[in-house]
Amino acid sequence: MANLVTLAKKGVEYGATLGADQVEVLIVNEKQIHMEIRKSSLKGGDILEVGGAGVRIYIGKSLGLASTTRFKEINDAVKKAYALAKGSPEDPYFKSLPSSGKYRTVRGLYDKELAAVTFESLAKNMMEGIKEASLSKDYTVSGGLTKSIREQVIVNSLGVEARTRGAAISGSIGVKYEKGTDTSLGYEPINGRKLKDFNPISTGKIAAEKAKSRIGAKKISSAVMDVILDHKSTLGSLASFINSGTNGLSVALGTAFFTGKIGEKVAAKGITIKDDPFVASGMASQSFDDEGSPSIKLPLIEKGVLKNYLTDSYSANRLGAKNNGHGTRVSFISKPSPSISNLIISPGRWNTDEIIKETKKGILIEDSALTLQGASTNISRMVDNGYYIENGKIIHPIKNTMVGLTVFDAFININAISKEIEELWGSKTPNIRITKAKISSGQ
């Protein structure tokens, strides 16, 4: 296959010859091997080459987008994007695609050992993890694993020429445990960029322990109480809130819930959050964003005070703010939108044990996320995995239970942050406690 940078450059040049004012070509080529495990048995393997090219063309302030799954048809996509831009209404807020910048190197994104490891070797290790999770015939174990080697190239007519290559492994082991008529689930993800960190035996053990500890889930009485989020739930919840509340485009549109709040207290005093795209071997670490703008470390909340919004080139231009390199694309087909890379939350002063011990009535949520529905500021989420706490003790697992509060209260009512920080795939988060949430359940 031709060099991807050359292919992208040719596409950009072709767009210019058609008469486009600004052209961007993004190419993604990803080689994947994937395996599926069901009922402790390897079902099979996939060996795939996925990806394609996305083209953005501006004629004046009118945008056309086109994509293709075939690299040999990039010029056809350029032609289509050009035709769409010609017929598209103007976007008065568009100013320019980003121009070139200096990129900082991020360590550990491409591990040669991981890139070279075979399907057979990964499958052998994975099956050891499955065996570890299969504690008895009452445990049904499933899982999946994908190794990907991904190359991404972004070239635009303003001088951006960015290329990155990474290797990654992702997947999970899931365990269903049955005791009489009762059933529980344990799940542990696998995410990493280094082969030496791939430890499915440990993953399988954790998943089985979780399933075992969650058997006997009960409904509880509805009441206002505390909610403790474990590391993973803190990451899932706060990353989602930050992406909604500080998204530069939503701020420009007036629908981000933190619109107009820079410099104001938006969270409890102990909360300090930043985005760090340079964490070595982080799953979301990057030198540049998905439109080729340099990534930077960005303080978001410092001691409860809002410091910055996440921007890409479009939202920065629209806000009259600096582009801080957070343009993120779901795939090569889509337009970028601002989003966080690695969420870093500063530790607090509590031991996790103390947080539980000093909770009179509450629930502990594991491996879940409290997320928002669209632009609404209401949080109304089911507890996927949780426990009831009374008088400082974990009493029993819970089911059919929901959390209701507003996102403003979720930030302001954080009254305990753990000293212990867990690094999760590049992000670093503590356990936290939020007070005064409405917990509804089926009892």
Partner 1 sequence: MDNYINLAKKVIEKYPLSKGNFLEIRFFIGEFTNINIRNNASEQISNESKIGVALRALIDGAWGFSTSKNFTKRDLSTAMETAISASKASVNGLKEKSEVPLNYTYTGKAPLKIKIDPRSIPLEEKIKVAIELEKNIRIQGDKIKVSTASLTDIVQREIIVNSLGTEVDVSNCYVRMSGSGTAREGTLIQNASNSVGTSRGWETITEINPTEMGSGIGKRAMSLLTAQAPPGGSMNVLMDPTLVGVFIHEAFGHAIEADSIINNMSVLAGKVGHKVGVEGINVYEDPTIPGLRGSYEYDSEGTKTRKRVIVDKGVLKGYLHSLETAAKMGAEPNGGGRAENFNYKPIPRMGVTYIDKGDMSLEELCQEIKEGVYLSKSYGGYVNPAIGQFFFTAQEGRIITKGEMGPLIQNVSMSGLTLEVLSNVLGIGKDLEMAFPGTCGKGQSAPVTGGGPSLAVKNVVVGGSR
Is the CB of 46 or the CB of 197 nearer to partner 1? 46
How far does CA 395 lie from the centroid of its chain?
Answer: 32
Is the CB of 91 or the CB of 161 nearer to partner 1? 91
User: Which of 79, 76, 70, 65 is closest to 29 using CA atoms?
Assistant: 70
Name the DSSP letter for residue 360: S
Q: Is 403 exposed, middle or buried (0-12, 13-18, 19+ CB in 10 A)?
A: buried
Is the CB of 38 or the CB of 303 nearer to partner 1? 38
Is the CB of 29 or the CB of 156 nearer to partner 1? 29
Is the CB of 39 or the CB of 393 nearer to partner 1? 39
* Measured CA distances, 260 to 253, 306, 307, 311, 378 (Å): 11, 10, 11, 15, 19
Report in angstroms how near the CB of residue 311 gets to partner 1 at its nearest.
17
Pairwise CA distance, residues 415 & 37, whole Å: 42
Report in angstroms how near the CB of residue 175 gets to partner 1 at its nearest.
10
**Counting every residue, how long is the chain?**
443
Cα of first residue to Cα of last residue in the chain, in angstroms, is: 62
Is the CB of 79 or the CB of 274 nearer to partner 1? 79
Report in angstroms how near the CB of residue 187 gets to partner 1 at its nearest.
10
Pairwise CA distance, residues 339 & 321, whole Å: 16
Task: Report the half-sphere exposure of 424 (CA within 13 A, side-chain side).
Answer: 22
Report in angstroms how near the CB of residue 367 gets to partner 1 at its nearest.
12
At CA 97, angle to CA 3 and CA 22, rounded to 5?
70
β-bridge partners, 81:
none
Report in angstroms how near the CB of residue 428 gets to partner 1 at its nearest.
28
Pairwise CA distance, residues 319 & 337, whole Å: 14
Is the CB of 104 or the CB of 124 nearer to partner 1? 124
Q: List the structure tokens of 271.
A: 């909360």
- Residue whose entry in the numeric block shows the structure tokens 């992702």: 170
Report in angstroms how near the CB of residue 379 gets to partner 1 at its nearest.
8
Report in angstroms how near the CB of residue 20 gets to partner 1 at its nearest.
14
Whether the CB-CB separation of 241 and 300 falls below 8 Å is answered with: no
Is the CB of 45 or the CB of 392 nearer to partner 1? 45
